[in-house]
A and B are shown apart, each in its own frame.
Chain A
Amino acid sequence: MSATTKTPALTIDEVLNAITERHTTASALAGEFYTRIRKEDPEIGAFLTLCEERALAQAGRIDAMAAEGKPLPPLAGVPVAIKDVMVTNGVRTTAGSKILDTFVPPYDCTAVARLEAAGAVVLGKLNCDEFAMGSSTENSAYHAVHNPRDKSRVPGGSSGGSAAAVAAEMAVATLGSDTGGSIRQPASFCGVVGLKPTYGRVSRYGLIAFASSLDHIGPFAKTVKEVALVLRTIAGRDPMDSTSAEVPVPDYVADLEKPVKGLRVGVAKEYFGDGLDPEVRAAVENAIQKLAELGCEVVPVSLPHTEYAIPTYYIVATAEASANLARYDGVRYGFRAKANTLSEMYRLTRDGGFGMEVKRRIMLGTYALSAGYYDAYYLKAQKVRTLLTRDFDEAFKKVDVIAAPTCPTAAFKLGEKVNDPLAMYLADIYTVTANLAGIPGISVPCGENHEKLPIGLQLFARHFDEETLLQVAHAYEQSIRPA
């Protein structure tokens, strides 16, 4: 291992340089990351499955290209890992559930395929809340994930493994999914960058569905530039996902350094109300002040229906989940309970294979869709979703990005909220709105509290305006970088 390569704190650019300049090889680097995973992960729990054969085969291909002096693809040799809700051909994929404990998918998620086509080395599959349902990764049917910044605390969820792996240097970048905040909130809790793109920006083909109108795939990394690079790689129309949009993918990296002077940053009072921890408030307000110093104009805006976002989300998401999880019936794949009749098999398989939170959400969703309640719950929630989206449309007539906290608090302790599902749901209060409206959102670290726990600044932008979002996030991040 040369003096210029150190496994901790490697960025994508550093990996690419090291491999291009032959200071290291993709195979050696993958080996170093696996060593680190074996050393650190027993206390963190980020990984569910390692796929060394696949990783080393990919690394070998990259090394062969480098040895022949061939031009290398844009993510050549970059060690990445994937949340276990995205299928990987031939590599066990569980969705964090026992019902898929032995499931080996016969195809790849498009986003994963695009990363590998760009040369990335997939190290393994990352732990998450079961079927992406949760805000702490404590709902994983396997084991919890411990926040690398304080191992007595949660990493956030549901993409807790994805955030923790980046924070603990066990992968240079990871993919997660965000249905109600599941990328942004763990990014905030673990002190890394996490992006939820616009709905339709990244194909959902191969993402095990939770709520089809709210699910998004997105990247985690240590810096905004790396997140921009991964987004550029995975974004774009996919004929396998009819909800993926035919909107061209800009070069998010090339445009990153555009000055942000003159951009208007909205601050919505509804995101700074009761329940917001004072240290989080102070850190986010400082960050907004920093944006003003960079030349942005800070504009008060109102998003008046914000308080209705959580109830709307928990009806829409659970209703869609009840439909999406109907397929887990023990017939074609996954766990099957022993039973004498078909209907008994369905019921015992599902009750045995699903955890409590999943069952709770299926029940809630089924109830909300059932005859007699459909109008009062599901249809009502869909109408409120329109109102919430209009709030953003109105605000974006006056501003270019909106700044807010990512979550009301820093990471809470493991076990703290497991017995109160409603308290756990309220942790998503600042993030679910972007899923309901489909707008992009990013969380970037903006400080720590007195316990040295990371705090996240959240930024929202218009549909398909990840460029502005990333520019502002990058400008902020660079402005607080130690000299």
Chain B
Amino acid sequence: MKVTDKDVAYVAELANLELTEEERVRMLRDLNSILEYVARLGELNTDKVAPMAQVSDRYGKVNNRDENQSRHGSDRFAYAIREDVEHGLRESLPHDVAVKNAPDTDGTFFEVPKVIER
């Protein structure tokens, strides 16, 4: 799958990156080189293999809550109890602390350039 200039422009738009001309050229070259390399994953037959999004899926057994390995859905994550259930409601960041790093604020809101063109 060869990446084209159009692909680079499209992906940059999705990623909210305004690439310079020079960056676009480099990106085209680098992406093609890397994607050519990763294409070798196609050599493996994975028809009957389940995808693994994260390691924690298997930790249900380790926690000894349920030795049955055929637990489904959110049961496997039963150990990750919601904080507000386990500990009661915690305090959130005070407002003034939350806006302390803001590039632009009126003290209540984060201020940004206009969203809608007139």
**Chain A residues near B (Cβ < 8 Å):** 102-104, 106-107, 199-200, 212-213, 239-240, 242-243, 245-247, 305, 307-308, 310-312, 314-315, 322, 326, 329-336, 339-348, 350-351, 354, 356, 359-360, 362-364, 366-367, 370, 373, 376-377, 379-387, 389, 421-422, 425, 437-438, 463-464
Task: Evaluate contact between B14 and A366: CB separation under 8 angstroms.
Answer: yes
Check if B89 is an interface residue, CB within 8 A of chain A: no
Task: Evaluate contact between B27 and A243: CB separation under 8 angstroms.
Answer: no
Q: Which residues of A contact B23 (CB under 8 A)?
A: 351, 356, 359
Contact for B52 among A329, A389, A422, CB less than 8 A: A389
Interface string of B11-23 (1 = CB under 8 A from A): 1101111111001
Closest to B26 in A: A356
Minimum CB–CB distance for A240 against chain B, Å: 7
18 A-B contacts (beta carbon < 8 Å): A199-B54, A212-B54, A242-B77, A245-B62, A247-B62, A305-B44, A307-B40, A308-B44, A342-B113, A350-B15, A350-B17, A351-B20, A359-B23, A363-B12, A370-B11, A380-B42, A381-B38, A384-B44
Tell me the residues in window 44-63 of chain B with beta carbons closer than 8 Å to chain A beta carbons: 44, 46, 49-56, 58-59, 62-63
Contacts across chains A and B counted by CB atoms under 8 Å: 189
Check if B75 is an interface residue, CB within 8 A of chain A: no
Q: Which residues of B contact A341 (CB under 8 A)?
A: 113-115, 117
A-B contact sample (7 more), CB < 8 A, given A212-B54, A381-B38, A463-B58: A103-B101, A239-B83, A308-B40, A333-B101, A366-B15, A380-B41, A389-B55
Q: Known contacts A239-B83, A359-B27; is A213 also within 8 Å of B53 by CB? A: yes
Q: Which residues of B contact A336 (CB under 8 A)?
A: 103-104
Q: How far is the CA of A334 from the CA of B51 in the complex (A)?
A: 36
Q: Which residues of A contact B83 (CB under 8 A)?
A: 239-240
Q: Which residues of A contact B46 (CB under 8 A)?
A: 380, 383-384, 387
**Chain B residues near A (Cβ < 8 Å):** 1, 3, 7-8, 10-12, 14-20, 23, 26-27, 30-31, 33-35, 37-44, 46, 49-56, 58-59, 62-63, 77, 79-81, 83, 86-87, 93, 97-104, 110, 112-115, 117
Q: Known contacts A239-B83, A351-B18, A377-B38; is A385 also within 8 Å of B101 by CB? A: no
Task: Evaluate contact between B16 and A330: CB separation under 8 angstroms.
Answer: no
Q: How far is the CA of A339 from the CA of B113 in the complex (A)?
A: 7
Residue in A344, A389, A421 whose Cβ sees the most chain B Cβ within 10 Å: A421
Task: Evaluate contact between A106 and B79: CB separation under 8 angstroms.
Answer: no
Q: Known contacts A347-B18, A383-B50; is A246 also within 8 Å of B79 by CB? A: yes
Task: Evaluate contact between B27 and A463: CB separation under 8 angstroms.
Answer: no
Contact for B11 among A347, A348, A367, CB less than 8 A: A367
Query: 4 nearest interchain CB pairs?
Result: A438-B55, A382-B51, A333-B101, A347-B18
Q: Which residues of A contact B30 (CB under 8 A)?
A: 360, 421
Minimum CB–CB distance for A290 against chain B, Å: 31
Task: Evaluate contact between B18 and A348: CB separation under 8 angstroms.
Answer: yes
